[in-house]
Amino acid sequence: MTEEELILELKAHTRKGAEALYDQYAIQLYRIIALRVKDPEQAEQALLEVFQTIWQEAGDYDALESRLAVWMMAIARRVSKKSSDEEKDC
């Protein structure tokens, strides 16, 4: 699926879009999270939060501002920072 097709599917909240999102980006996003969140279980939870955030904010995504992957990586960094901070507090 092309990036443009994926964006349309995400904005329409289709199952096809959710599956393509996971298939195409799960490993890449998990790696970003795992750099900050050392506990694998918390990293998995953070990845779930990243996908939920992407899903919820897909309507706000603007391809003129950034590429889809860059936008999603920014979300992953934001969520992983929050998760890392929580991990330190424990």
> What is the domain extent for residue 73?
3-89
pLDDT digits (tens, 9 = 90+) for 63-80: 999 999 999 999 999 999
Residue reference for tokens 């999603």: 72
Q: Give the CA angle between residues 1, 72, 66 to the nearest 5°.
A: 85
If pLDDT is split at 50, 70 and 90, which confidence band does 7 have? very high
Residue 63's CATH number: 1.10.1740.10
Half-sphere exposure of 50 (CA within 13 A, CB side): 32
Instruction: Indicate the number of domains in the chain.
Output: 1
pLDDT at 87: 66
Asked if pLDDT for residue 9 goes beyond 80, the answer is: yes
